[in-house]
């Protein structure tokens, strides 16, 4: 019983830490300008807002930013700039559901 309780506490802790790390909402936008040397891009969000997004070596960059492409990103404001934590260029594809476990 104590092992089950301890395992439950560990799982709740891990879930809480995981949610805190992924708490940022992903934003979808269209790239309107890219500066690869400056590691920045200007994007237009669905509500028509232009944003300049910067990335660095710690940013998880999936794909190559190109004008006209759809981009999804999570970011945080720091030092007066919007820094991307994660960037995905292109359409997001839904993951296929896991196959059902065979009944026994």
Q: Which domains does the chain carry? A: 27-89 (2.40.50.320)
Determine the Cα angle at 41 with ends 39 and 46, to 5°: 150
What are the angstrom distances between the C-alpha of 37 and each of 34, 40, 54, 55, 88? 9, 8, 11, 11, 19
What would the pLDDT profile of 42-101 be if each residue is shown by its tens digit? 999 999 999 999 999 999 999 999 999 999 999 999 999 999 999 999 987 766 666 666
pLDDT of residue 47: 94
CA 72, CA 40: separation in Å to the nearest integer?
14
Residue 65 near residue 53, CB atoms below 8 Å: no
What are 55's two structure tokens? Answer: 């990335």
């Amino acid at each position: 019983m104590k092992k089950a309780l301890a395992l439950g506490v560990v799982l709740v802790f891990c879930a809480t830490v995981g949610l805190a790390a992924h708490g940022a909402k992903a934003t979808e936008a269209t790239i309107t300008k890219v500066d690869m040397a400056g590691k920045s891009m200007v994007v237009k969000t669905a509500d028509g807002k232009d944003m300049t997004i910067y990335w660095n070596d710690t940013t998880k960059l999936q794909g190559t930013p190109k004008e006209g492409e759809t981009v999804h990103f999570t970011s945080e404001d720091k030092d007066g700039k919007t820094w991307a934590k994660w960037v995905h260029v292109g359409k997001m594809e839904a993951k296929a559901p896991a196959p059902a476990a065979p009944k026994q």
